[in-house]
Amino acid sequence: MTAFSPSRKHRALGLTDSEYELIVELLGREPNDVELAMLSLMWSEHCAYKHSRKLLRRLPTTGPHVLLGPGENAGAVDVGGGLAVAFKVESHNHPSAVEPFQGAATGVGGILRDVFAVGARPIAVLDSLRFGEPITSDRSRYLLERAVAGIGHYGNSIGVPTVGGEIYFEQSYEQNCLINAMCLGLAPRERLIRSAAAGPGNVVVLLGALTGRDGIGGASVLASAELGDGDEAKRPSVQIGDPFSEKKLMECCLELLDRDLLVSLQDLGAAGLTSAASEMASKGGVGLDIDVSGVPLREPGMEPFEIMVSESQERMLCVVEPERVGDVVEVCGRWETLATQIGSVIDGELVRVLDNGSAVAELPVSVLVDDCPLYDIAPEPPAKPVYASPPAALAGTESPAELLLALLSSPNICSRRPVFEQYDPVVQSRTVRRPQEADAAVLQLPGGSAIAVSIDGNGRRVACDPRAGAAEAVYECAANLACVGAEPLGLTNCLNFGNPEKPHVAWQLTEAVEGLARACEELGIPIVGGNVSLYNEAPNGPIFPTPVVGIVGSLPDAARAGRSGFASSGDAIALVGPFEPSLTGSELAKLRGVSPTGPLPAIDPTAVRAAHDAVREGIRTAVFHSAHDISEGGVAVALAECCIAGGVGATVQLPEGIDPFAEAPGRAFVVSGPPSALAGFTVIGEVGGDALEIAGQLKLAVSAMREGYDGVLAEVL
């Protein structure tokens, strides 16, 4: 083995001494500077998943509707009528913590490219966001304002509606905000395309924007280590987005696919040309030549390694048969999109980087993609609580009415309207249910059917009990689809955790993956793709373990999509599902300053699935006039939200022994409908009047509840 000095530059690029030794052993020599830069990114946590890949093998990935599964730019499911829906969620956490506007904006841009890279036209975006406490933290207010502005800027400009999402605020996200963006797109089944390069002699063409120094070492490096002091210096590593360039690139790529001009297509995301080229070669079992002298540059004098690792946005890489290059260039010219021949597919399994024909890097595809060591993490449950108790906002002596108002006006429950009003939810004219009209977004398909989509997660409850809390995220997201009448078809996830090299974080990650796997198996929902974001940790500690799940489902009749608000005075109100709520990890516990400790109550998956089926059928047959799942704030908040959304009151009597503020996410629902139709369920009251009255506990006017519910984020933003 070639000797090397432990002081060499590999450490500065994030490679350990043992990893560098392995590279030298695999190559039979030391890598040059270009090769080392490429390997450092491909062997980073963000690209290699070296602490999570073994765990991810536990997740179920097959199902009757799956067309594309994990490993492609996005997963895809069959929604009937010859159509496919492609979807994926990814994180842009670390860049957004450094520069929130561009970090969030380019997070949206990146997930859009993942979807049209498989041939699907993006039709909707959802966002799952986490910040510190916005009322007491200037930093968290700044991150919230700028991230929301960045999401709106990119989505609104490119003409893709933001139809839903979620936002939570906890101390643990003060230094590490989470920006998870989900996109779904629609395509004819036959237009779906994979990213595998093929055909030695075929041409490699770079599409889109100029390549610059912005984003060098961006997502791939920022997301592979903890943030600490001096992060202001990392701002140049954050990518800069241009949604108008991406719009032209998107339309160009979709026309190229419509005309069957491409062999394969790949987004340039983290690690730029290095990742795109090596992954396309690996999937196709071929090699690639890339000549960096042909790459159009935004800045003169860029070195070959800079060109290969730049994460400049709005770029795609495609493989084209030589006789079709002219047609590709013609289409790109009409869309004002650069199309540049920068290489070719070759026999063998090498990625060769050339500069004016001279080799400056020559690496086996296997070393770039497959040979990074996968680590066995060492999970150990913590001996004592990891997270400090939050400041108490309540004294503990409030009346039930005061507690309900406090919950409705808390940042984690209050109306998200001030955020959603910055996004366009109806562009493209498919949106049947807008944000806050229903528990899931609903988008119409040709012929009158529809798809529904929701995104969910609760880091506080996962911190209490990682396995049960992660399972709850799946149950709650599926419950949201049931409330609009949709049947789940596939799931995508984003696993946001701290440093996996720490035993308690390794335990949280291991337990959460098992919880996700079991819940998906129990509900019969395959996982078609996703993302892992680790090292979300600052000197004051890790974030709450936050697995976020997004589920896409179908419903036969868009006109019958459910709503959450009570619809008609005189309707009966009923509880559906196994309802044994607990205050553990609840929003009320947080307001009282209780730290997140578990375990959570046991879940009966058979009863959960039966409840979802009953609610879905009740909405589809119009037996239920409304449906809303019981989550944060318990049944009292769920009832209040139904009243506020419907503009009408309700009078209820809760079953004996149920705390109105205890929570049971994902398994219990409040529904309303004609009294005769609800006779088989646990009827608890009636819709009507101008106040919510829970007999023997509280009575509040709908107007008073709405005032508290609407005010908090409006003041912050």
What are the residue numbers of the active site?
46, 92
- Identify the CA nearest to 482 among candidates 417, 564, 547: 564
**Distance, first Cα to last Cα, the chain:** 59
Helix (H, G, I), strand (E, B) or coil at 100: helix
| Cα–Cα distance list, 17 to 20, 23, 41, 305 (Å) | 5, 10, 15, 21
User: Which residue from 353, 316, 313, 114 is spatially nearest to 219, judged by alpha carbons?
Assistant: 313
Q: Count of residues for the chain?
A: 717
Element (H, E) at 48: helix 45-48
Residue 136 · residue 98 · CB < 8 Å? no
| Alpha carbons 484 and 681: distance in angstroms, whole number | 19
Give the pair of three-digit tokens for residue 44. Answer: 């980073």
Cis check for the bond before 599: say yes or no (omega within 30 of 0).
yes
What's the DSSP call for residue 72? B
In whole angstroms, what is the distance from residue 717 CA to residue 421 CA?
A: 11
What span, in angstroms and rounded, lies between the C-alpha atoms of 534 and 103?
17
Strands 162-169 and 572-576: unpaired
**Alpha-carbon gap, residue 212 to 217, rounded angstroms:** 12
DSSP string, 127-174: EEEEES-TTT-HHHHHHHHHHHHHHHHHHHHHT--EEEEEEEE-GGGS
Q: Are 37 and 305 in contact (CB under 8 A)?
A: yes
Residue 51, CA distances (Å) to 48, 373, 376, 382, 671 in order:
8, 9, 7, 19, 43
123: nearest Cα among 98, 86, 172:
86
Alpha carbons 370 and 363: distance in angstroms, whole number: 12
